[in-house]
Amino acid sequence: MKITFINVRVDVYPQMGICYLSSYLKEHLPGVETCLIELVFGENRERAVRKILATKPDLIGITTYSVGYQEVIELSNLLKSVSPSTPVILGGPHITTLPQTMSDTSDLAVIGEGEQTLLEICRLWQESTAGAASPERAFRSFLDAPALADIKGIAYRAAGQLVCTAPRELIADLDSVPPPDLSILNMRWYTSLKQFLVKKGLYHGFTLLTSRGCPYSCRFCQASALWRKVRYHSAERVVWEIERLRNEYPKINALNIIDDLSIANKPRLKEIVRLMQEKGLHNRFDIGINGHVNVISDELLEILKQINVVQLVFGFESASERILEFLKKGSSTVEKNRRAAEMCHAHGIGVGGLFMVGCIGESEEDMRKTIQFVRETPMTCVNMCVTTPLPGTELWELCKEKGLVSDAMDWNKLDFGNVNNPDLLYINESCIPYSRFKELLQEGQDACRIWNPPQSIIGNLCYLYVLPLDEFFRRAVKKLKGMPRHLLLKITSRIG
C-alpha cells in the first residue's frame, strides 16, 4: 500500500512529525510506501491535486495547523471531488485540539501522537479492503469496518455523527520510534544555503527534534495540550542522529534543535556533550537551541559552548511585568529576561528574541515597554507577532468566552506570523483601538529590524528549489523593495 502525506505550507524547517510517521510505518508494515508532497502557500490547488493523485495513493494524510487549516479544508474538498474513494486522514495540532472541526470531506482524524494510531489504521485498511472489487467498495469496507471503533485516538463519522474513540497512550520510550525518514524530504531545499539560525550568516542547515513536550504551561502555547508531559530521546540516540547527518549530508554546517526545551535535563545534556566530543562532533556545526530564562546559568552556558551553540532563542514575549505574568503564568519576569540576554552575551552566545503584542488587557504603555526592550537589547534575531489564541490553550478558551473565536471561524484570521494579514484576529480592541495598534506594531517591527539584517540575495536563491519561477521573482522583487528601509533603520539606530 502507498500513503501520500501532504504539508500545505513548506517552510525552511521540515515537518519532522511526518518523517517519524513514515519511518514508523516502514519499520512495522512490510511493503508500505510513503511519499511527501509539500505545497507552497498560494500554489494553484488544481495543480496541487494533480500532483498528489499522480502518486497513486491508497491513503492521503494531511498535517493540520490552525494557521492554514482553511487551506486544508479547501484542498480536502478538491481532492474528494476528483477522487472520492481515496480516504483523507487529518492529523496534527489543530485537529487534535478541535476534532469537531473535521471537514465533511475528510474521513478520519488522528488525535494526538500519531505513530501507533496510523499504523493501526493502515493495517485495518489492508485487512478490510483485501479482495475488494473496486476502489468504491474498498473505501466503504474500510470506513464501515466495526474494528474502526477499537482504534484509540481517532475521530470519524458514523451515521452522520462525529465519534471520538478513547485517547491513545503516549509512547513511553521515544527511542522505540525509529529515526525520522529523511528520504521523503526535498533535501536539496532543506540543506540549501540560506539564512537559518543566526540571521547574520548563511548556512547549510538542518533540523533536529530530540524530545516531545514542554515542562511549562504558558497560556498561549499548544505544546502542553498536545503532549501532556515531557519525554526525551536518550543522549545516545541524539548523537547517533547528529552523526548520521554528518555522514549522509556532509555539507550541513548548522543544526537547529527545535524542541520546546531540550536543555532542561542537565544530566542528559552533559552526556550529549560528552558523546559529541568523543565522536568529534562538538565543533562540526553551529547550533541553535530554544531556551527558557529559568534554566539559564553560567554553568549551563559553558556546557553549551562546548558543542558550539551559537544562539539561544527565548520566548521573552513582553516587557510589561503584568502582561508577562498573564501570558507565562509567573514562569518568567522582565528582569529574568534581561539577565538571560546579558548572560548569553557574556558567554559569546547569540540571543534570539520572540515577542507578542496585542494581548487582552495590554495598554499602550505596556506595548511601549516591549518595543523599548527590543530597541535596547542586542539580539542576533528577533520576531514580534500579534498575540493570537490557538485552540487547546487557555487563551483560546478565554477568547471563546468573549465571543472572539469559535469552532466555525475563518482560520485565516489566526495567521499570527503574518502581521500584514488584513484579516488577522485582534483581541485587544477594548484597550487599544486597532488603528492605533497598527501604528505601534509598525514601531515594533522597525525595532526588530535594527537587529535583523537585510535579506540576503544569495540566501534567497534557495527558493528556486520550491517556488515556480514566476512566484520566485514576484517575492524577490517584494523583498528588494524592503531593503532600503531596513538599511536606513539600522543606520539611524546607530547614529541615535
What pLDDT, in 10s, does the model give residues 204-245?
A: 999 999 999 988 889 999 887 777 789 999 999 999 999 999
Q: Give yes or no for residue 481 having a pLDDT over 70.
A: no
DSSP state of 184: G
Q: Give yes or no for residue 490 having a pLDDT over 80.
A: no
User: How much is the pLDDT for 114?
Assistant: 95
Sign of the alpha-carbon torsion through 474, 193, 421, 97: positive
Q: Give yes or no for residue 496 having a pLDDT over 60.
A: no
- 411 burial via Cβ count (<10 Å: 0-12, 13-18, 19+): buried
* pTM flag (> 0.85): yes
For the chain, percent of residues with pLDDT exceeding 90:
77
Alpha-carbon distance of 467 to 9, in angstroms, equals: 12
User: How much is the pLDDT for 473?
Assistant: 75
Q: What is the dihedral of CA 426, 427, 433, 436, to 10 degrees?
A: -50
Kindly report, residue by residue over 293-346, the tens digit of the pLDDT.
Answer: 999 999 999 999 999 999 999 999 999 999 999 999 989 999 999 999 999 999
User: How much is the pLDDT for 201?
Assistant: 81
Q: Give yes or no for residue 169 having a pLDDT over 70.
A: yes
User: How much is the pLDDT for 242?
Assistant: 97
Buried b (16+ CB within 10 A) or exposed e, 9-31: bbebebbebbbbbbbbbbeebee
SS3 category, 91: strand
Q: Please give the residue that has the higher pLDDT: either 47 or 164.
A: 164
Q: Residue range 112-118: average pLDDT?
A: 96
Q: Give yes or no for residue 470 having a pLDDT over 80.
A: no
Q: Please give the residue that has the higher pLDDT: either 475 or 259.
A: 259
Kindly report, residue by residue over 186-210, the tens digit of the pLDDT.
Answer: 999 999 998 887 767 899 999 999 9
User: How much is the pLDDT for 428?
Assistant: 96
User: How much is the pLDDT for 196?
Assistant: 81
User: How much is the pLDDT for 486?
Assistant: 57
Q: Please give the residue that has the higher pLDDT: either 419 or 275.
A: 275
- Residue in this structure with the C-alpha cell 478520519, named with its chain if needed: 108
